[in-house]
Structure 1
Amino acid sequence: MKALVLAGGAGTRLRPITHTSAKQLVPVANKPVLFYGLEAIAEAGITDVGIVVGSTAQEIRRAVGDGSAFGLKVTYLPQEAPLGLAHAVLIARDYLGDDDFVMYLGDNFLIGGITEPVERFRRERPAAQIMLTRVPDPSGFGVAELDTEGRLIGLEEKPDKPKSDLALVGVFLFTSAVHPVVAALAPSERGELEITHAVSGLMDAGHRVEATVTEGYWKDTGSVADMLEANRLVLEEMEPEIAGVVGDSELIGRVTVAPGAVVRRSRIVGPVIIGAGSLVEDSYLGPFTSVAEDCQIIDSELEYSVVLGGAAIRGVRRIEASLIGHEVEVTPAPRTPRAHRLVLGDHSKVQICASS
């Protein structure tokens, strides 16, 4: 059995972060979200992995390498443009051959891994097996309709009026029966080859398709809110470790200070992780905060946020629910004139508290 990991999307909902970084490499608790998926694949006993890459191919290659760090053998499959999930299957045809495979979306975050659904698929071998989860607003996802006995009877891609609250989780299992169906697909109104159409095509051809509703935690980490929520969940399960230098500071709860990090005259209320080479000085870090490597947090307050590598926050009071990009500098504005001075990339979002 093989795995097909999709890492070619542009990540428009995470701009401006994804103008300079692959969305699959944005960290959750200081580890790229893609790595959680690769680890889950390895834990399921799959070692042969094809990674579909697009405009951020070089960055993905640098991060993953040949896959040996994960116990995997990785083959890179270039995709000219993100033309749909089924298009990824189409371009991977030669790599996949006639093997069964699991398709895993590289920006998905799934607690509990995929070992159980993979084992079930290997036992029962339907033509396709999909995973579903209940979401409050399914209109942004592929949506499944089940009958009263839990059998799959229909699929829709991002419908205006969803027939259920069951969204497709970004994990699909297929036999080689999917390939002729994918080859016959026409682009949807969005100009993409939809995986929902491929699964529906299997059903129309009389193949057995199984659906399971997962109760585990799943997030499509395509937005800032989803990234922060996934970060929170991982930090809640984190084991504390103090490997860096901590001086004249108060650490409460689960706090990890990586080797080479320094914490001075600060109050840290976990769960918090501080990456290697970072400096936290005269500051407060509140729960569910991840500070990546080589950052500076000085005379500032930060809570429920993710700070990416090389960022600096100095002299700033109360930042929360924020995603701070690589090499970003956040500092106070001059007292006079009383004006905000901003240098912002495309698609930035800024909220400024008005002072009386």
Structure 2
Amino acid sequence: MKALVLAGGTGSRLRPFTHTRAKQLLPIANQPVVHYALRAIADAGIVDVGVVVGGHADDIRRAVGDGSAFGLRVTYLHQPEPLGLAHAVLIARDFLQDDDFLLYLGDNYLEGGVTEFVRRSRAGRDAARLLLTAVPDPTAFGVAEVDGDGLVRRLEEKPEQPRSDLAMIGVYAFTPAVHEAVRAIAPSGRGELELTHAVQWLIDRGLGVRAETTTMPWRDTGSVDDLLEANRHVLDRLEGRVDGKVDAHSVLVGRVSIAEGAVVKGSRIVGPAVIGPGAVISNSSVGPYTAIGEDCRIEDSAISFSVLLRGARVEGAPCIEQSLIGREAVVAAAPRPPQAHRLVLGDHSKVQLTS
């Protein structure tokens, strides 16, 4: 079995961050989202992985390399335009050949991995197997209608009146039968080849499509809120470790990970929290569920439940919460109002001063 990881797309819900980087490279606990997918694939015993890339291909290549850091062999597949998930399968045909494969959306976080899902997919001979989870608002997802035997009877993409609350979470297993399906379907109204249409094509022709449900934490990290929530889930499993420097005037509470090269001075850090290499925290308070990236600077500030990307600076900010702060961004206190007023007034002018 091979794997296909989708790391293209525009990430419109995460703009402006995705103007300058791939959404799959935004960090969860200081690690790119796509790294979690690759580790899950490796843990499941898959070695050959195709990574579909788009406009940020060079960034993805730098972050993933040849895959050897994960125990994988990575082949890059270029998708010139984001024309749908089924289109990604279509352009990967030469790489996939006639092997079964796992399809994994590279901006998804799934706690617990896919090892058992892959094992059952290998043991069965269904044309496709989908991983589903119950969601409060199915209208925002692809939704599956499943019978009592676990067979999928119908799929709908973001239905106005969902037939179930079971959403597809971006993990699929396919046999080579899907290749005929992606060639047979037509673009949807938004001009994309929809994977839901390809799977429905298999169902309509009597080919078995089976569903599994999971209750493990899952997030499509396509929005800031979901990214912060995924960060919370990962930090909940963090083990405290101090490899950097913490001075005698600082206090660490709970599980705090401080990377080598990081410096904490006169500050209080409450875990779970992770501080990246080269970061400097001084005279500040860092609250729980915060991930501070490489080379960040936090001074005279308080921050919690947030993610800071590489090189971000926060100075004189009394309270920052639930924030995502980009690379090299600067947050600073506004200048104080002037203590005196300088006026140049014409004849017959009238000025009222508030202080």
Same fold by TM (over 0.5)?
A: yes
Query: Which position in structure 2 is the counterpart of 1:336?
Result: 337
User: Deviation digits for residues 295-321 of structure 1, max 9, x if unmatched?
Assistant: 000000001000000000001110000
Query: Which position in structure 1 is the counterpart of 2:319?
Result: 318
Please give the TM-score of this superposition, normalised by the length of structure 1: 0.93
Query: Which position in structure 1 is the counterpart of 2:6?
Result: 6
Q: Provide the aligned C-alpha RMSD in A.
A: 1.1
Written as runs of structure 1 = structure 2, the 5 A alignment for 1:138-177 is: 138-177=138-177
What's the CA shift for 1:147?
2.8
Query: Which position in structure 2 is the counterpart of 1:210?
Result: 210
3-state DSSP class of the match of 2:229?
helix
Q: How many residues align?
A: 338
Q: 1: CA distance between counterparts of 2:76 and 2:255?
A: 38
Query: Which position in structure 2 is the counterpart of 1:131?
Result: 131
User: Deviation digits for residues 1-51 of structure 1, max 9, x if unmatched?
Assistant: 110000001111111111111100000000000000000000101010000
Does the CA-based 8 Å contact 2:152-2:203 persist in structure 1? no
5+ residue gaps in structure 1? 339-356
Q: Call closer, same or farther: CA 1:193–1:245 in 2, change over 3 Å.
A: same
Query: Which position in structure 1 is the counterpart of 2:264?
Result: 263
Query: Which position in structure 2 is the counterpart of 1:350?
Result: none
Query: Which position in structure 1 is the counterpart of 2:349?
Result: none
Larger Rg: 2
Query: Which position in structure 1 is the counterpart of 2:39?
Result: 39
Q: Does 1:281 align with 2:282?
A: yes
What's the CA shift for 1:337?
6.3
Query: Which position in structure 1 is the counterpart of 2:232?
Result: 232
Query: Which position in structure 2 is the counterpart of 1:304?
Result: 305
Query: Which position in structure 2 is the counterpart of 1:106?
Result: 106
Q: 2: CA distance between counterparts of 1:228 and 1:321?
A: 7
3-state DSSP class of the match of 1:131?
strand
Q: 1: CA distance between counterparts of 2:161 and 2:145?
A: 12
Written as runs of structure 1 = structure 2, the 5 A alignment for 1:172-251 is: 172-247=172-247, 248-251=249-252
Q: 2: CA distance between counterparts of 1:336 and 1:113?
A: 53
Q: Aligned letter for 2:326?
A: G
What's the CA shift for 1:169?
1.1
User: Deviation digits for residues 213-249 of structure 1, max 9, x if unmatched?
Assistant: 1111111000000000000011010000000000110
Q: 2: CA distance between counterparts of 1:337 and 1:95?
A: 66
Please give the TM-score of this superposition, normalised by the length of structure 2: 0.94
Q: Aligned letter for 1:34?
A: V
Query: Which position in structure 2 is the counterpart of 1:354?
Result: none
Q: 1: CA distance between counterparts of 2:250 and 2:337?
A: 34
Q: 2: CA distance between counterparts of 1:249 and 1:115?
A: 41
What's the CA shift for 1:148?
4.4
- Percent pairwise identity: 61
Q: 2: CA distance between counterparts of 1:80 and 1:22?
A: 15
Query: Which position in structure 2 is the counterpart of 1:30?
Result: 30
5+ residue gaps in structure 2? 340-355
What's the CA shift for 1:271?
0.5
